[in-house]
Amino acid sequence: MTEGTFAVLALLILAWAVISGLLARWNITGPLVFAVAGYALGNPDWGPLSVDVEAPSVHLLAELTLALLLFSDAARVNISRLKHDIRLPGRLLALGLPLSVILGSLLAAWFFDDFTWALAGFVGATLAPTDAALSAQVINDRLIPVRLRRALNVESGLNDGIVTPIVTFTLAVAAGELGIESHDGADHGGGALLELALGVVAGLAIGTASAWLLTVGSRRHWMIADARPIGTLAAALGSFALAVAFGGNGFIAAFVAGIAFRATLDEQTVDADTAVELPELVGEVLALAVWFLFGAALLPIALHNFGFTPLAYAVLSLTVVRMVPVALSLLGAGLDRKTALFVGWFGPRGLASVVFALLAVEELGEISVVERVVAVVALTVFLSVVLHGVTAGPLGRRYVHLEQADEEQGGGPRSRRTSRGRGSPDALRSDQP
């Protein structure tokens, strides 16, 4: 990324921040704005800005962004609060997510004859995790039952970390199938497993140690209050960097570190939500830059390879591949059909899928079959950015209206129990899911 590109990107972020509220009223999300801006300004055919998808700085920026968001998402999950209403997110993660990976992989293998099973598995795993940022209006709408909002938020916060080992393993196997030598010459499958193990160890070590140090430093008044978020940011970046330095998986390290950090931190001494604010904020700012890079580098690939088959797969990925597993996972959960459809639709594909696609380019190179894989992922993500961003507000209001109509017709007790039970806002410190 050149200095000029960086300057334009910084000014775009400033402009977006100023009018972000106005754009939200029109259901225009930040990812959509920056993806379109990246396509218009960084397009290799006519764009005035230079963006090289193979540049190390591009990959490092994307990877650090995902690492920060993985850490902060994992650290935001309070198990002690969540255990009162674990059933919905537990079903979505334990049943819905694996079924989505399997169904998406089988569909990719069927649709694309030149995809190996490993590449099909990569596509299925890459497009399985969801991104709550693309449907933030739903997550933040207090008229929607907090139980549903929390389920969607926890699902999106954890599923990208859960599928990371699958993505890493399928990339390693695909490299072997395509005859691509690994960076260290190690066995592809065995090397991937070793990376995952090292990532887990690094994440546990940094997450546990950093939480203990912040607790001790705060308890003994060694720290000023403003230093706690800085220490948390350093822990998030340190877990990623340490794992990579020793040949481990930095994403797994950041995700595990976030879980270990929250589990170890003494929340009577240090407020965990406040401590995580800085890495979360930095991750969100960097995410806008990644969406710009997505528009500049990956969206042209998607449009260059556009056709009926990729479009059909993208549509099915956003509907059948997501909604059928969700419906199956929610059987017996006591939810009506409209609620199951609501949860099934709001599974937008976002930043994690973009970073995984860039990782495929980095690991496998820009050969034709890899370009088609990246094109399918990029097209699906862009459709999700448009469709989920535009429909979040209207469909959220529609769902609330239908719930209120059910209450007036005598169906209210179930809806009220859903939104005012043990997982209600009164049971939490705040009304955040």
- pLDDT single digits (tens) 356-403: 999 999 889 889 999 999 999 999 999 999 999 889 888 988 998 888
Tell me which residue of 322, 342, 309 sits closest to 415, measured CA to CA: 342
Tell me which residue of 346, 333, 350 sits closest to 288, measured CA to CA: 350
Whole-number Å distance between alpha carbons of 26 and 20: 10
In 265-367, alpha helices (H): 272-275, 277-293, 299-304, 308-318, 320-329, 337-345, 351-364
pLDDT class for 145, splitting at 50, 70, 90?
confident
> Does residue 362 belong to any structural domain of this protein?
yes
> Does residue 433 belong to any structural domain of this protein?
no
> Does residue 393 belong to any structural domain of this protein?
yes
Report which residue type is found at 293: L
Answer whether 39's CB lies under 8 Å from 300's CB: yes
* pTM for the structure as a whole: 0.88
Whole-number Å distance between alpha carbons of 145 and 169: 37
- Chain centre to alpha carbon of residue 188: 26
Three-class DSSP labels, 7-45: HHHHHHHHHHHHHHHHHHHCCCCHHHHHHHHHHHHHCCC
pLDDT class for 423, splitting at 50, 70, 90?
very low
In 56-187, alpha helices (H): 56-76, 79-82, 87-91, 97-111, 117-126, 136-139, 146-177
Whole-number Å distance between alpha carbons of 395 and 390: 9
- Which CATH number do you get for residue 252? 1.20.1530.20
> Does residue 432 belong to any structural domain of this protein?
no
Whole-number Å distance between alpha carbons of 112 and 256: 34
- Mean per-residue pLDDT, 342-350: 92
* Range from 37-46, 53-62, 144-153, 269-278 carrying the lowest mean pLDDT: 53-62
Range of the domain at 140: 3-427
> Does residue 188 belong to any structural domain of this protein?
yes
pLDDT class for 180, splitting at 50, 70, 90?
confident
Whole-number Å distance between alpha carbons of 298 and 304: 10
Backbone angles phi, psi at 409, to 5 degrees: -95, 10
> Does residue 398 belong to any structural domain of this protein?
yes
Whole-number Å distance between alpha carbons of 43 and 365: 20
Mean pLDDT value across the chain: 87
Whole-number Å distance between alpha carbons of 283 and 177: 34
Whole-number Å distance between alpha carbons of 350 and 384: 8
Task: Please count the structural domains in the chain.
Answer: 1
Whole-number Å distance between alpha carbons of 161 and 359: 15
- Cβ-based neighbours of 254, under 8 Å, separated by 6 or more: 66, 67, 68, 70, 71, 74, 203, 236, 239, 240, 243
SS3 177: helix
Whole-number Å distance between alpha carbons of 98 and 232: 31
